[in-house]
Amino acid sequence: MVDFSKLHPETQLVQGGINRSPYGETSESLFLTQGFVYETAEAAEARFKGEEPGFIYSRYANPTVDMFEKRMCLLEGAEDARATASGMAAVSSALLCQLQAGDHIVAAKQLFGSCRWVVETLAPKYGIETTLIDGTKTEQWEAACKANTKVFFFESPTNPMLALIDIAAVAKLAKSKGVTTVIDNVFATPVLQKPLELGIDVVCYSATKHIDGQGRCLGGVVLSSKEWIDENLHDYFRHTGPSMSPFNAWTLLKGLETLSLRVEKQTDNAGKVADWLAEQTAIGKVLYPGRDDHPQAELARQQMKGGSTMICFEMKGGKAAAFAFENALEIIRISNNLGDAKSLVTHPATTTHKNLSEEARLEQGILPGSVRLSVGLEHSDDLIADLAQALEKAGA
Ligand SMILES: *Cc1c(COP(=O)(O)O)cnc(C)c1O
């Protein structure tokens, strides 16, 4: 038996976690079934008692979903995982399963909109307190800690401004205070950033983004130690039912086969596009973690293997210029999604971050002219030509 944990990510992504049926199929099989039948009543009893291995019900576990979880564990270097119906199911489960009334969360205010709603609006309804801080300032994590602080939660790079949080420093501080760290690693992807190696306890993904990467289905995953999952997520997951559909797990397994190829190529394209954008007079600041002029370029080199597939830049002409520019694009499409093979552009202030107050947006640096670009797999020359014609057409 090959020990895939010792092999390279490219090999893990193609071969890891496969559990072939007696037919010896090449591709991962799709077990589109709700439940499982037993030869005898005794066998059912033994399986429910945990005395015999096997599947019981697809809300708990399913062979196709299990292959997806095992492949993700190999890639992330995690002991265990639970696949969820969406990225938000992953984040909300990872947080709520371990918290109770009277507990306190410290979270970076630079969060994906729904993640911020979970900690800022939902958690307090259950008596869980939240303090939002500027996550890029490590000292603010320490200052916000209280006797009842249970969880630190953040993303890095952040959406949409691509600010970085010092993962190793925040993880170290959390360990010294007995606080559990939960990271949403969507923007970096498991290819470019390994939070568990940097000391993080729990990693969440929206598999909807780069892991599918081809616009097909929603999914998510929570990864951690076996102990943390057994003690926190196992029962919560079984009884609240955020489970992933076997069909989506099958699709995402096929997505994983090409994940590193896609992320590396998209990152390469993003670097070229960011360099070109930085030279345009109509464009103000370009934020890309792979460029030397990113405010945290040194930290990016320490904790990421590449600059990511995402760029954020400012149209000097504000909202009107940003809209005219987006409307003039012909290859790059307008969408709030990201991580896709297709390049996608979005205007955060009026879409993904419209629910924040103007003040909260400005605090994070989200301006009326801010544009977020998710760079895809198209040829970089064609993307640059499209951006150039759109800038010209927009009169910017
Ligand atoms: C998209 C996204 C999510 C939510 O994922 P869904 O699959 O849409 O539920 C969470 N965090 C980040 C950073 C995201 O980009």
Q: What is the pLDDT of residues 322-352, one digit of tens each?
A: 999 999 999 999 999 999 999 999 999 999 9
Average pLDDT over residues 93-98: 98
Which of 280, 269, 396, 386 is CA-nearest to residue 330?
386
Name the domain count of the chain. 2
Of the residues 253, 278, 311, the one at which a domain ends? 253
1 occurs within a structural domain: no
96 occurs within a structural domain: yes
The preferred substitution site among 92, 117, 193, 206 for testing ligand 1, maximizing ligand atoms within 8 Å of CB, is 206
Is 1's pLDDT higher than 90? Answer: no
Q: What is the pLDDT of residues 230-250, one digit of tens each?
A: 999 999 999 999 999 999 999
Looking from the CA of residue 111, the nearest atom of ligand 1 is 13
The preferred substitution site among 88, 217, 374 for testing ligand 1, maximizing ligand atoms within 8 Å of CB, is 88
Pairing relation of β-strands 129-133 and 104-108? parallel
Domain that holds residue 97: 7-253
185 touches ligand 1 (CB under 6 Å): no
The token pair at 96 is: 């709520």
Do 90 and 220 contact (CB within 8 A), yes or no? yes
389 occurs within a structural domain: yes
Looking at the fold, whether 13 and 147 belong to one and the same domain comes out as yes
72 occurs within a structural domain: yes
86 touches ligand 1 (CB under 6 Å): yes
Do 79 and 73 contact (CB within 8 A), yes or no? yes
Q: Rounded CA gap, 225 and 59, in Å? A: 21
112 touches ligand 1 (CB under 6 Å): yes
Neighbours of 255 (CB within 10 A): 22
Looking at the fold, whether 275 and 314 belong to one and the same domain comes out as yes
CATH number for the domain spanning 26: value is 3.40.640.10
Looking at the fold, whether 208 and 312 belong to one and the same domain comes out as no
Is 0.95 topped by the overall pTM?
A: yes
Do 55 and 33 contact (CB within 8 A), yes or no? no
Residue 147 CA to ligand 1 center (angstroms) comes to 30
Looking at the fold, whether 194 and 331 belong to one and the same domain comes out as no
The preferred substitution site among 209, 340, 364 for testing ligand 1, maximizing ligand atoms within 8 Å of CB, is 209
Looking at the fold, whether 159 and 181 belong to one and the same domain comes out as yes
Looking at the fold, whether 180 and 247 belong to one and the same domain comes out as yes
What is the identity of the amino acid at 58?
A: S
Helix (H, G, I), strand (E, B) or coil at 210: helix
CA 176, distance to chain mean position in Å, is 26
28 touches ligand 1 (CB under 6 Å): no
Looking at the fold, whether 90 and 211 belong to one and the same domain comes out as yes
Question: Residue-wise over 345-369: b if at least 16 C-beta within 10 A, else e?
Answer: bbbbbeebbeebeeeebeebbbbbb
Q: Rounded CA gap, 326 and 191, in Å? A: 29
CATH number for the domain spanning 286: value is 3.90.1150.10
Is 356's pLDDT higher than 90? Answer: no
